[in-house]
Chains A and B, each alone.
Chain A
Amino acid sequence: MTSTSSHLTYIARVLAVSFLFPVAFLLLLSVSAGWVFPEVIPDGLTMERWVRLATGNNELFGSLLLSLGIAFSVATISTFGGFFTSKHLAYHPGRSLWMRLSYFPFVLSPIIYAALLYFYFISAGLTGNLFGVILGQLLIAFPYSVILFSGFWSVRMQNMEQLVQTLGGSKWQAYRRVLLPMARGLILVCFFQTFLISWFEYGLTTLIGVGKVQTLTLKVFQYINEANFYNAALSSSLLVLPPIILLYFNKKYLFKKRW
């Protein structure tokens, strides 16, 4: 019995190493001086790429800031917009229809959704610029946020709000003193999830941004196309780093349906 248990633990550890291997591989490739076939380990190691990135002497630095800015904007707007909207949808008689409708943009392939909307973005002058990309990503992140918050607005929450008003509190006070503090955990989860939706986005960003809004995901693709695998690994490491940091703080920020 003990032998079976230790055998299973061993298998689990081997699998765990295989799940962690990609992180180590990306970091190693990003600091490789050269790593050509048939070598299984790099010729040497160099921190040059990381140093150039840290000192801002690398075009990736701009992409990093751009991706952070877009993801932060999308997460903030969709989280608070979704929180406000989901309340009214949840208590509306047509709740079931609204919720069903909110699933469509959220599950539809972002690039196909962008293809359907491309004409409108061109007409509004929103292609190839930051605002267009943020708006495009909001069209996916916002419905997700609405769905995520829909479970929060229960009869209990309604009763709480009514109690605040019965005791003389205004609607604003109900939000500030009761609803927002009670939803704090969910707001954080929603913020990080919508941040990651934007952070991971490639298809919609490349189509609406016409390749001009060079986020980190676009940089990864550009470097792969140029066969510059070391820089592709560096930009991939930058993409993976924030979610891993989130994982360190709280696992639930990562474990949610996000597609």
Chain B
Amino acid sequence: MKISGQTLFSSKPEAAGILLFLLLTVAPLMAGIIYALLYSFGVIGLMSEGMTLAYWQQALGRQEFWFSLGYTFYIALATIVLTITGALSLSLFLKKPFRQGFPGFSLYVPLAFPAIVVAFLVFQVASQSGLLSRMLWQLGLISDSAAFPELVNDPFGIGIIAAHTFMAMPFFTLYFINLYDGERIREYVRVAGSLGASRMQQLQRVEIPILLRRAFPTIILYTIFVLGSYEIPLILGRQSPQMMSVMIINKLRKFSLSTIPEAYVAALVFVGIIIVLLIIIFKTRTFSYDLDK
């Protein structure tokens, strides 16, 4: 009798499935990171002169890099704080009207907008010659377009934050409304009420903590999405400071070859940040691989 040894895969279809996964998911990711590492250490590339830390020192020594990193986090955190505050307010105070009819349908509409279209819309509405500025001019509140405050291509990223918030708030409102029903929060609220909790205590001690704890992995995932956004800051941002993705691509596309290793350094730092954030998500108790849960 032949005793077969343990194999890595139990069947040919399983081997094919996992091979397809490795080819389309793991291999490109690893290959991309390895290439960027080699380029950033000067091992490969058109200007390669052998292994060096010079590009890392050069990139990390630039104020532009740290401004860009700080600006990217500022945009992501401002967006998330505004989004979550708005979505919690809508889902807790307006959940009844938003569950049905025209308001219920309207919440889904912003989900149909790609980022580039949202950026275009914000530009059309909030720029100095945009719709808001025109309305103020017609009302006699401003005398020319230059008198309208800079809301796009501005130093504080107001346009970028507004565009991201427009995209995210309806999604999180729907998400919180679904969680509210799924987590049976109404029953907990009723119990808290019967034990003497005021409406404010029910909100602060029961509803908001449960919703935020359940939504934590999704909130971090959305933060990652905003950190890496490209189209919105490309259209609504300015030359300096730039969000990380815009800065990296600008450095890669410059005619000067010397900025390419710096672009890969910045890309690797960004990938490192994403890895840390993903590890935080994976360690969260409420995280599920299943996107339906």
Contacts and interface: CB of A to CB of B under 8 A. Distances in A.
Interface of A: 5, 8-9, 11-13, 15-17, 19-20, 22-23, 25-26, 29, 37-40, 81, 84-85, 87-89, 91-92, 98-105, 107-113, 115-120, 138-139, 142-143, 146-148, 150-151, 171, 199-200, 202-203, 207, 217, 220-221, 224, 229, 232-233, 236, 239-240, 243-244, 246-247, 251, 254-257, 259
B109 A20 contact: yes
A113 B36 CA distance: 11
A246 B109 CA distance: 11
**Chain A binding site: helix, strand, loop or mixed by DSSP?**
helix
A150 B21 CA distance: 13
Nearest to B135: A40
Nearest to A135: B24
Contact of A9 (B25, B97, B270): B97
Select the residue from A105, A110, A112, A251 with max chain B CB neighbours within 10 A.
Answer: A112
B117 A236 contact: yes
A239 B117 contact: yes
A20 B278 CA distance: 34
B278 A103 contact: yes
25 contacts: A8-B96, A8-B97, A9-B103, A11-B94, A12-B98, A16-B107, A17-B106, A19-B106, A20-B109, A22-B121, A25-B121, A84-B20, A88-B14, A88-B17, A98-B18, A101-B25, A103-B281, A107-B221, A109-B270, A112-B267, A220-B120, A240-B113, A247-B112, A255-B111, A259-B222
A102 B28 CA distance: 12
Given A139-B24, A151-B291, A115 B278 contact: no
B103 A12 contact: yes
B129 interface: yes
A112 B291 contact: no
Nearest to A146: B21
B292 A151 contact: yes
A177 B103 CA distance: 40
B26 to A, nearest CB: 5
Given A151-B293, A199-B114, A116 B25 contact: no
Contact of A92 (B18, B97, B114, B221): B18
B125 A25 contact: yes
Interface in B229-248: 229-231, 234-235, 244-245, 248
B249 interface: yes
A1 B137 CA distance: 40
B97 to A, nearest CB: 4
A115 B263 contact: yes
Select the residue from B35, B108, B170 with max chain A CB neighbours within 10 A.
Answer: B108
Given A151-B289, A244-B112, A108 B26 contact: no
Nearest to A83: B17
B151 interface: no
Given A16-B102, A113-B32, A8 B93 contact: yes
Contacts of A233: 120
Interface string B256-275: 00000001000100110011
B47 interface: no
B248 A202 contact: no
Given A19-B109, A142-B24, A150-B289, A111 B230 contact: yes
B175 to A, nearest CB: 8
B115 interface: yes
Select the residue from B24, B288, B293 with max chain A CB neighbours within 10 A.
Answer: B24
